[in-house]
Amino acid sequence: MHPTCYLTLLLWLTFDSLVAQHQLFTIDGVLSAPYSSNLTGVGDRVVWLVTERGVRNIWTATFPDAKLRQLTQQRTDDGQDLNDLTLSPDGRWVAYVRGTGKNKEGVSPNPTSSPTSAEQAVYVVSTTGTAEPIRVGVGSHPVWSPEGKRLVYGNGGQLYLATISDKIHPAPTRLFTARGSQADYSFSPDGRRILFASYRGYHSLIGIYLLDNQQINWLAAGVDRDQFPVWSPDGRQVAFERVPGSRHGELENIQGGRPFAIWVADVATGQGREIWHSPGDDGGFAQYYPTAPLRWTRQNQLLFFSEHDGWMHVYKVAPTRANTPVDLMPGAFEVEETCLSADGRYLYYASNEADTDRRHLWRVNVETAHREQLTSGKGIDTDPVVVGQTLVYRDAAWNEPTGIAWRSMTNPKTTALFPAKWPNTFPKAALTEPQAITFAAADGLVVHGQLFLPPAGLPPAGLPPAGLLPTTTAPKQRPALLFFHGGPMRQMLLGWHYRGIYYANAYAMNQYLAQQGYVVLAVNYRAGIGYGRAFRRADKQGPRGASEYQDVLAAATFLQNHPAVDPKRLGLWGGSYGGYLTALGLARNSDLFACGVDLHGVHDWSWRGNMFSPGGDWGIGEAETKEALASSPNADLSRWRSPCLFIHGDDDRNVAFAETVDLVQKLRSQHVPTDVLILPDEVHGFLLHKSWLAVYGAMDRFLQYYLPVPRSLGTTPKK
Ligand SMILES: CC(=O)N[C@@H](C)C(=O)N[C@@H](C)C(=O)N[C@@H](C)C(=O)O
């Protein structure tokens, strides 16, 4: 055979294997791997949640033997989240919550549209793995007593007490009735008192309920918002955070921006004193974002999160008198989830220090502030849990979803614990390692992103190289997609995302899209986290001027200048706040963006400002309404031309379904091509795996129709 024929045959075989690989790369496959979350530990044991194709089960492991055990035997995707996993202090029980709270109609999420509706309830299951879970009662946020035989949990703003054994007997009882909504509760070290915060509108109070005489004592009652109370090791004092109470008409704003103070109160007298207050309006985010905003260590130190030095760090301050806090990890990086060693000497934490678009684990000696890095490389390591001398954590990579790994504190070698292996359907070998890129917005702000390029060798646009088939001339460049995360206080990373199925699936879908032949850029636009307080609280963001739209345009320019990208074929996609930026791009620049996929996006900030809380938790008052509308897609509908696929669950408790109903009706009236995929009884973060498959399948077909990257020769997918 002529040498050219050998070359042609080799080329074809190469292409064929790529097609095979390509064919193996399905949406179902890239979403098929188990995802580990909700990791927590006590003593020598850890427990966590595994979600595999929507089937949710609780697993446990003990150390140092790393012995694994599955504790629940759920076999179907019932669309009910499991959350709030908490081990009893003796490690014998796991308490957890099945289901989610009620919406304004008074119903819990019921995505299967089950005629018997759904509930949110507390369960316990033995860590022996030999018994079925036991339902304790309707409620959430279970908290164990020190001896591990009693649980307190919340329901309807009141607290309930259950005695736990193989039978829930007697039935749980309401601990007491108090005005307001009780939260942030915990048992005293002696198990005889319950500390709680009572939220009462403009203010909140710290109370202690004495189980022996059913009496409530209040601590340092004032006109402020007292929250996150914690016991001193001897149970004689309580520390809490104090934020100024509300003024008439003052609206919550999730961007943060409230001064806050650390207080200590004496349990016996109820008298309190301020230990420290923030120099500026540094509070808000540092309180609601971390799981444990305030701690009292056995070494008698108070540890608290703050951004007052420009980055999210943990500070220590003595609880004895007013004094200056010490930043335990000074530097230009952020700290996320933490775990305190049992003796209180070390704080373990996840950080993006020296690796901005990843997460690694560190620990700091609370006494000396000496810190050391514990994990490194290309992993996404988060949620450290220390059991004995073993560090257990959630671990992901660019080609592996979040699993569980561990290392001994006496040996830096890391070991994967779960899963033992990835499913055959998971296309690990075909995944694309995203590249870290940066670009400058019009105002000079440097923005980070992750660039997913189609696998090397996959010819442009997925067709065989020009000339192999006489009738085909493969286009030189590819269509490209810009992805925007939600929040906006989020950050996409150089690997599988740790923040639940919502973002893990988004990363997986970007992998799939790259495999289909799209160039994909995940844009970490301003208002996100990871890059400091000033970046997160960027001026004029969202409803106050949509300043992050500069980052959308700069990202488009970055892609248009990329040699692999056809500058005329750019698409947008994103969920929630990312749906907002997708719709904003199509409204303002249908000249730039050929189409978009908008998952449950915000389309009218002035309307959202009155939707589910006064000001929409963005502080959008009467005076901001005009600016809020001008910052919304709805302000520029007359310019919207490009097709858009809208996807929304109609039981969305975060971004009202009405946002999509309103916008689609308006676009239809001006003959903009719109497609819709509505998921009846689904919520914001879709609860059913089949919902995600339907969403991404519809997205795949829509994009293939408007931004075609032909999968195989000659076929043009149907919409
Ligand atoms: C009040 C408010 O807007 N809170 C935000 C956390 C929020 O709800 N943002 C949504 C628009 C959103 O993006 N939700 C998900 C996707 C998220 O990551 O928070």
pLDDT score, position 24: 72
End-to-end CA distance of the chain: 43
pLDDT score, position 107: 94
Q: Is the pLDDT of residue 713 over 60?
A: no
Q: Which of 411-415, 442-446, 590-594 has the lowest mean pLDDT?
A: 411-415
Given ligand 1 and candidates 252, 499, 654, which is best to mutate, with the most ligand atoms within 8 Å of its CB? 654
pLDDT score, position 716: 36
Cα 121 to averaged position of ligand 1 atoms, centre (Å)? 25
Average pLDDT, the chain: 93
Angle at 324 between CA 318 and CA 326, to 5 degrees: 80
Q: Give yes or no for residue 615 CB within 6 A of ligand 1.
A: no
Average pLDDT over residues 203-229: 98
Cα 365 to averaged position of ligand 1 atoms, centre (Å)? 35
Cα 214 to averaged position of ligand 1 atoms, centre (Å)? 40
Q: Give yes or no for residue 577 CB within 6 A of ligand 1.
A: yes
Higher pLDDT: 684 or 622? It is 684
Higher pLDDT: 615 or 195? It is 195
β-bridge mates for residue 68, sequence order = 61
Q: Is the pLDDT of residue 248 over 60?
A: yes
Alpha carbon of residue 625 to chain centroid: 29
Burial (CB < 10 A; 0-12, 13-18, 19+), residue 474, is middle
Reported as a pLDDT band with limits 50, 70 and 90, residue 9 is low
Pairing of strands 674-679, 644-649: parallel
Average pLDDT over residues 371-390: 96
Reported as a pLDDT band with limits 50, 70 and 90, residue 256 is confident
Q: Is the pLDDT of residue 394 over 70?
A: yes
| Cα distance between residue 619 and residue 621, in whole Å | 6
| Cα distance between residue 528 and residue 507, in whole Å | 16
Helix H or strand E encompassing 138: strand 134-138
Average pLDDT over residues 137-144: 98
| Cα distance between residue 37 and residue 401, in whole Å | 11
pLDDT score, position 5: 60
pLDDT score, position 522: 98
CB 161 within 8 A of CB 145: no
Helix H or strand E encompassing 285: helix 285-288
Q: Is the pLDDT of residue 615 over 50?
A: yes
Q: Give yes or no for residue 611 CB within 6 A of ligand 1.
A: no
DSSP string, 186-235: EE-TTSSEEEEEEE-SS-EEEEEEETTTTEEEEES--SEEEEEEEE-TTS
| Cα distance between residue 660 and residue 658, in whole Å | 5
Higher pLDDT: 171 or 504? It is 504
Q: Which of 22-31, 146-155, 428-437, 531-540 has the lowest mean pLDDT?
A: 22-31
Reported as a pLDDT band with limits 50, 70 and 90, residue 647 is very high
Q: Is 412 helix (H, G, I), strand (E, B) or coil?
A: strand
Q: Give yes or no for residue 448 CB within 6 A of ligand 1.
A: no
Q: Is the pLDDT of residue 269 over 50?
A: yes
Average pLDDT over residues 432-457: 95
pLDDT score, position 4: 62
Helix H or strand E encompassing 21: helix 3-24
Which phi-psi region, left, alpha or beta, contains residue 402 (left: φ > 0; alpha: ψ -120 to 50)? beta
pLDDT score, position 467: 47
Cα 489 to averaged position of ligand 1 atoms, centre (Å)? 8
CB 468 within 8 A of CB 11: yes
Q: Give yes or no for residue 159 CB within 6 A of ligand 1.
A: no
Q: Is the pLDDT of residue 458 over 50?
A: yes
Q: Is the pLDDT of residue 6 over 90?
A: no
The residue whose CA has the least distance to atom 5 of ligand 1 is: 487
Q: Which of 193-207, 354-368, 416-430, 461-475 has the lowest mean pLDDT?
A: 461-475
Q: Is the pLDDT of residue 569 over 50?
A: yes
Average pLDDT over residues 643-660: 97
| Cα distance between residue 98 and residue 121, in whole Å | 6
pLDDT score, position 2: 65
State the closest ligand 1 atom to the C-alpha of 618, by its place in the atom list counted from 1.
1
Given ligand 1 and candidates 536, 548, 573, 577, which is best to mutate, with the most ligand atoms within 8 Å of its CB? 577
pLDDT score, position 608: 85
The strand order across the sheet containing 478-484 reads 435-440, 446-452, 519-524, 478-484, 565-575, 595-599, 644-649, 674-679
Give percent of the chain with pLDDT exceeding 70.
92
| Cα distance between residue 341 and residue 348, in whole Å | 8
CB 519 within 8 A of CB 526: no
Q: Is 627 helix (H, G, I), strand (E, B) or coil?
A: helix
Q: Which of 36-45, 162-171, 499-508 has the lowest mean pLDDT?
A: 162-171
Q: Give yes or no for residue 601 CB within 6 A of ligand 1.
A: no
Q: Is the pLDDT of residue 481 over 70?
A: yes
| Cα distance between residue 493 and residue 379, in whole Å | 10
pLDDT score, position 169: 80
Given ligand 1 and candidates 576, 613, 660, which is best to mutate, with the most ligand atoms within 8 Å of its CB? 576
Q: Is the pLDDT of residue 717 over 60?
A: no
Closest by alpha carbon to 691, among 584, 613, 575, 588? 575
The residue whose CA has the least distance to atom 1 of ligand 1 is: 617
pLDDT score, position 456: 72
Higher pLDDT: 334 or 613? It is 334
Reported as a pLDDT band with limits 50, 70 and 90, residue 475 is low
